[in-house]
Amino acid sequence: MSAKRGCSSRQQDEDSQGGKRMKYSGPDLPEDIWCHIRSLLSMQDAARAACVSRSFLHSWRCRPNLTFTNETMCPKEDLKAPGSNATIIDYNNKIDRVLRNRPGDAAVTKLKLDYHVPPLVGKPYRRLDRWLQIAVTPRTEELELLVWSKEASFDFPCTLLSDRCGGSIQKLFLFRCALRPTFQLGLRSLKTLYLRDVRITGEELGCLLSSSTALEHLKLVYCDDIVRLEIPCLLQRLSFLEVSGCTNLQVIENKAPKLSRFWLEAGEQVQVSVGESKVKDVQLRQDYAINYAIENLPSRVPNLETLNIQSSHEIVNSSLASSKFLHLKFLSIVLISGSYFHQDYDFLSLVHFFDASPSLETFRLYVIEHPMDDWFEGDPSSLRRMPQHCHGSLKSVKIIGFFPQKSMIELTCHLLENATSLESLTVDASPANYRCSGSKPGRKCSPLTSTAIVKAHKSVLAVKKYIEGNVPSTVKLNVPEPCGRCHRLKESGVKPFYLMFND
């Protein structure tokens, strides 16, 4: 039965029990409109529509973008929870049915597959191998494979990349597997490579990179088999490199000429050479990162403009840098205090960083989990001053997690006296930088304990006592207090001790 434009036609199909069921072919619309409608459907909606519509059944079986994850296949279950073996088996069976019903000529453009190892299976990756052979096609552009197992024991088939999608793959993300290329894979279109918890050596990675001439982004996380990382000069388009948590890594040698962003997180200091590339953005997360940056980065990264530092171990080094960050404009330092961080760290020593950065315009300091020991409550005249310094380009300063330790008060006052172009100063005593807007009922600030709220209020009082009087009229001072809606102390008959300072 034919249908007029805008109407639906219906046909009867036999169901699996031999009965009759009604299928709707849908409105008589141009094929390009149908393609657009199908592209807007999620995996779940497309599967449901295929059950009742012949028009959607074919598009479902030939769907170019496949996402097999916990959220798309069984959103009401948790595949990582204890005792989820039956759910994992059902999850894998669903994926198997979808891929087996695909036509042989159906191309997959994007594939995201979370594989959960089934329990009590002699060859746990046999199905996964078969799925990859079905789903990875010569038109595959993006491939994300996450193998949820205790060890990275799945050997990813390198021939699948070289023989099947070497010329088309643009994005490759592998999690918890082994990648052992022994020959060039011909990944001439690969732009993004992300390996996380992957067993691959530096030599094997070099073999993979040697043919990836279009690579722009490279991210390596927890790849512990890499001892020496060499980035070849043939990667003419590589602009971003991130290396994080590779515990055995000792050397990074970059020869890619256009690398502009470099992020490094390492427990031990890694020997780094960026070559002649013009790196402008560096993120450094490691022990003694402040000292390392001052002593090494000016000469190794002379074009640096943005620097983000995170450190949990730090010592004071009063020596001046032999060379300067001539182009550094943005500096962010995150100090995670606690048992490994010196409680008497001299924040005023950061002045040496400002001296080495004559173009610095923006400074951010975040201090997390500071102790209450040795908070300054003495005579303001005992505070140290360094009047011979000048930071003429600095315009904006934020100190998040401010607490009235003597050297932190001295640093703040120093910036007010010596940053001649300073326009705004924010001193936030709360240890978190996320605050609610105050107007939306559903939004809340980051949670704080009662002790943290008391600390914040006491710090605000210290700002008013030691800092507020030093603020020039040209500087806008912002001192946010703990949110009265989200961070209100429980009412009691005893007056909070931080309010007694105003009595």
* The pLDDT of residue 376: 79
**Percent over 70 (pLDDT), the chain:** 78
pLDDT band of residue 46 (cuts 50, 70, 90) is: low
Paired tokens of 476: 């806008």
Tell me which of 368 and 329 has the higher pLDDT: 329
Which positions ≥6 away from 47 have C-beta within 8 Å? 60
CA dihedral over 455, 457, 463, 465, signed as positive or negative = negative
Q: Percentage of residues in the chain with pLDDT exceeding 90?
A: 39
Over residues 356-378, mean pLDDT: 82
> Has residue 321 got a pLDDT over 80?
no
The yes-or-no verdict on residue 501 having pLDDT over 60 is no
Query: Which helix (H) or strand (E) covers residue 130, if one does?
Result: helix 126-135
pLDDT at 73: 82
- pTM of the model as a whole: 0.82
**pLDDT-based confidence at 502, cuts 50/70/90?**
very low
pLDDT bracket for residue 368 (50, 70, 90): confident
The pLDDT of residue 26 is: 55
pLDDT at position 499 is 42
pLDDT in tens, 85-100: 889 999 999 888 888 8
Select the highest-mean-pLDDT range: 174-188, 223-237, 477-491: 223-237
Pick the more confident residue, 11 or 76: 76
Digit-coded pLDDT (tens) for 187-246: 999 999 999 999 999 999 999 999 899 999 999 999 999 999 999 999 999 999 999 999
- Output the pLDDT for position 175: 97
> Could you tell me the sign of the dihedral formed by the alpha carbons of 424, 427, 432, 437, in that order?
negative
Q: What span, in angstroms and rounded, lies between the C-alpha atoms of 314 and 420?
A: 29
Please determine, for residue 153, whether its predicted confidence score (pLDDT) is greater than 60: yes
Query: Is the pLDDT score of 314 beyond 90?
Result: no
Q: What is the pLDDT of residues 240-261, one digit of tens each?
A: 999 999 999 999 999 999 999 9
Provide the CB-side half-sphere exposure for 195 (13 A, CA): 25
Phi/psi at 135 (5° precision) = -85, -30
Provide the residue type at 147 as one letter: V
pLDDT band at 19 (very low <50, low <70, confident <90, very high): very low
Contact 114, 146 (CB under 8 A): yes
**Pairing of the two strands 251-254 and 228-231:** parallel
